[in-house]
Structure 1
C-alpha cells in the first residue's frame, strides 16, 4: 500500500512539474510576443482631428515625370449629376455590413495604408489603400484595392476630390470617414507604413521575385531613382537600376520593390499599379508564412517600430493566434473599380467616376459571402 502511495506521489510530482514547465513556457512566449507588440506605434483614431484647408503641392520625385496637355473638361451638368448620385447613394445605402452580428463577428476589416510621406515631411497622400478582410466563416482573405484617382465626396469638408486627397487633408481619420461614406464599408482597424518601412521589410525578407516586362523598364528605373533619393547618399543616386526586362522573374531588393509597386505610367495606369501592389502584398505574405525564427526576429526588430496602427494588444495577440489558420485561407484580390467606370476631366485633371451603389453590393459579396459577385 505504501509503495502504491509512493508511486502515485511521484506521478503527481511529475505531472505538476510538466504543468509548471508548460506554464512557464506559455508565459515566456506571451512576454516575448508582448515585447515585440509594444514596439509598434499605437495611435488611436482621434474624433477631434484637424482638417487642412489645402494640401501642399506634391511633385513626382523621378528624373522625367510624365506630363501631358490637360484634356477638355467634362460637361459641368454631367459632373453635377455624378455628384448628386454619389450623395444620394451615400444617404440611402448606409453601411453594407450585415445585420447579423454573428456574420460581422466572423469578419475583420483592416485597412492597409502605404503613404508617400517623406522623412522630412509631415503630410503625404495615401499611395496605397488596401482593405484586408479576414473572414473566418468562408475561410477567405479578401484584399480590396481602392484606386486613388476615384472621384469621391470627402465628408466634413463637403468637397469632391480624388480619394487619396482625404489622407492628405485629414490623415487616417478623414480617410476612414471618406471610405465609409462613399463605399459603405465598416473598417475595424488600420495599419500604416511609409516608404522606408516598406524597404526595410522587403530587405529583411530577402527580397521578392516578380515578373518585369520590357514596356515597364523605363518607368521602373525612374522610380528606382526615386527610391535612391530616399535612402542613398548622393554618390549612389544612380544605383540598382535594372538592365533588362523580358517578362521573366527578377529578384528585387527593397528599393526596387518599392519602385515596382509605385510606377503607374505603363499599361492601364493606376489599375495596373494596384495589380502590382496586391502582387507584392501576396509575395510578402508568402514569405512570412515560410520564414525561419531568425528572419522573424529581425523583421520584428526592424519593421515593427516603423508601423503605426490602432490594433490593441488583444487584437495583435488574436491575429498571432489565428496566423496558423489564416495562412491556409484562400486569398481573393481585386480592385475598385474593376470593369465598370468612366473617366472625367475636372479643372484639367483626370479622375475616375464609378457607380458606388454597384460596387457597394460587389464589395459586400466578396467580404461577407463566398458568392461570386455579379457583373453588370
Structure 2
C-alpha cells in the first residue's frame, strides 16, 4: 500500500478524493496552484513511488530540495519545513544550518597581530616620552678649530658639582659644601669613552691635569686668551662647551657627544635603582666627603654613592684614586641598570629612565640611540670586554704658581693613546 491509485503508473492523475492529507487543505479543483494536475513531461517515464520527492526526502531524513514539490501541491524551500518558521527544518528548529568549525589558527593570528600593534605603539610612545626628558644645551658643532672627524664614536662624560639645584640642608647632608667656583661649578668627573671596532675604551682625565685652555669667548661676549690651568677650571669658566673645546685642543680627539650629570641627579638615579652594589677591598673613611664604609660587598644609597665617588683623601695620589673610584662606580651602575629586574619590569624601568634622563645635560646632536650605545659600552667595559684606564701621568705632583699642586700627563704615552683612539686602533698604551 503506497497511498497512490493504480492509474498513476499509466499517466492518469491520482485519486484526490481517496487521499486526503490532514495538514494540507486545497480548494476544490486546485492542484497546488495549477488548474490541472501536473503531468509528466513528454517522453519521460513517470517516477515510481519510491523516487517521488517526498519519499526521497524522507529517506534522507530531510526535505526536498528548494522548489521541489511533494506531489501533493506543497513546495518545500531549502532550510524551511512545511510549517514555515518553527516547523520541521525551519528557522528555530536547528535543522538546515551549517556551522563553521572554529578556526584556532585565525584566533592565534589575530592575537599575535594585536600584541605586535600594542608593542609598536608602546615603543613609539616610550621613545618620544624618553626623548622629551633629555636636556640638550651643548652645541659641539660651534666649537672652533676642531680635530678631523675620527673613526668610531667618542663620548665626553662629565660630572658636575653644581649645587644650584640643592637646598642648604641637602648640601650639608651630602657633604658637598655650598661654594661654587664660577658660574658652572666644578667637574669632579671627566672621561673619554671610545666606542669602536677594536673594543671599547674608557679613559679618565684627572680634574687636576695641567692643560692649555684655548682662547674662547665667554657668555657675555668677552674674549679670553689661551692660558694654562687645571682641566676643571675649563668647566668652571665655560661649562661643558668650554670643557669639550679644551679636551679636543689637548688630545686631538674629535668629541662626537657630550653627557653631563649633576649631584642631585646622581643621588636621585641611585635611589631610584634601589641602591647600587659595590665591593670594597678595604675600609674607606673620609670626613670631607662623608665616606664611611667597611670592606666587602654592600649596597650604597644615593648619598653614600656620592660620598664614594668624591672620596680622594685615602689614596696616596688623591686625584688618581678618585678617578678609579668613579670608573668602578659608573661601571656598576651601567651593569645594574641592564639587569632583567630593571629592563623587564615597567614599574622599575620607567622611573629609572625618568630619573636618569631628567638629570642629563647632553649635546644637541645626542639621540636616544647614541645614549643607549654609551650605556652598552660602559657595561662592556665593566664586563671585561673593553679597557678602563687613567691617562698616562708623568708627574703627579707638579707644582704651579697659580693652581698649586697639579699633575702633568706623560706627553709621549698620552699622545700615542689619543692617536689610537682617534683612529680607532687597538690601544697599546697602559695608563696609571
Using the TM superposition, name which of 36-45 and 143-152 deviates more. Answer: 36-45
SS where residue 192 of structure 1 aligns?
strand
1:369 matched to 2:425? The reply is: yes
1:287 to 329, 336, 357: 336
Q: Distance in 2 between matches of 1:133 and 1:325?
A: 8
Distance 1:303 1:361, change over 3 A: same
Report if the CA contact (8 A) 2:140-2:363 is conserved: no
* Structure 1 Cα separation of the partners of residues 227 and 377 of structure 2: 43
Instruction: Please state if 1:30 is matched with 2:163.
Output: no
Q: Distance in 2 between matches of 1:371 and 1:142?
A: 8
Structure-2-length-normalised TM-score = 0.60
d(CA) in 2 for partners of 1:281, 1:173: 23
The 3 A distance-change label for structure 1 pair 253 and 322 is closer
1:130-186 deviation line (CA, Å, top 9, x unaligned): 112222x23x32111101111111101311000110011111111111111111111
Determine if the alignment matches structure 1 residue 347 to structure 2 residue 408.
no
Offset at residue 343 of structure 1 (A): 3.0
Distance 1:362 1:182 in 2: 12
> How far is 1:289 from its partner?
1.6
Quote the residue 2:351 is aligned against.
298
Match of 2:298 among 250, 253, 260: 250
Instruction: Give the secondary structure class of the aligned counterpart of 2:279.
Output: strand
Question: In structure 1, how many angstroms separate the alpha carbons of the residues matched to 2:372 and 2:226?
Answer: 39
Does structure 1 retain, via aligned residues, the 8 Å contact 2:331–2:379? no
Q: 1:276 aligns with which of 320, 325, 331?
A: 325
Q: Which residue of 84, 100, 113 corresponds with 2:158?
A: 113
Q: How much has 1:358 moved relative to structure 2? A: 2.9
Partner of 2:39: none
Contact 2:392/2:430 (<8 A) preserved: no
Where does structure 2 lack aligned partners over 5 or more consecutive residues? 1-99, 166-179, 216-224
Is contact 1:45–1:172 with CA below 8 Å preserved after alignment?
Answer: no
**Equivalent pair of 1:155/1:177 in contact (CA under 8 Å):** yes
Runs of 5+ unmatched residues, structure 1: 1-5, 50-90, 99-103, 225-240
CA distance in 1, matches of 2:373, 2:140: 28
User: In the aligned structure 2, how far is the partner of 1:37 from the partner of 1:16?
Assistant: 32
CA distance in 2, matches of 1:192, 1:325: 16
Alignment coverage as a number of residue pairs: 295
Alignment pair present for 1:170 and 2:238:
yes
What RMSD, in angstroms, separates the aligned Cα atoms of the two structures? 3.4
How far does residue 37 in structure 1 lie from its aligned partner after superposition? 2.0
Q: Secondary structure at the match of 1:170?
A: helix
Distance change in 2, residues 1:333/1:207 (3 Å)? same
- By how many angstroms is 1:303 displaced? 2.9
Residue of structure 2 aligned with 1:222, choices 283, 288, 291: 288
Helix, strand or coil at the partner of 2:407:
strand
Could you list the per-position Cα deviations for residues 38-93 of structure 1 after superposition, in whole angstroms to 9, with x for gaps in the alignment?
112122427779xxxxxxxxxxxxxxxxxxxxxxxxxxxxxxxxxxxxxxxxx9xx
- Do the aligned residues in 1 keep the contact of 2:234 with 2:243 (CA within 8 Å)? yes
Q: Which has the larger radius of gyration?
A: 2
Q: Hey, which of these two has a bigger chunk of helix by percent?
A: 1
Partner of 1:331: 386
- Taking a change above 3 Å as real, the CA distance of residues 373 and 298 of structure 1, as seen in their structure-2 partners, is same
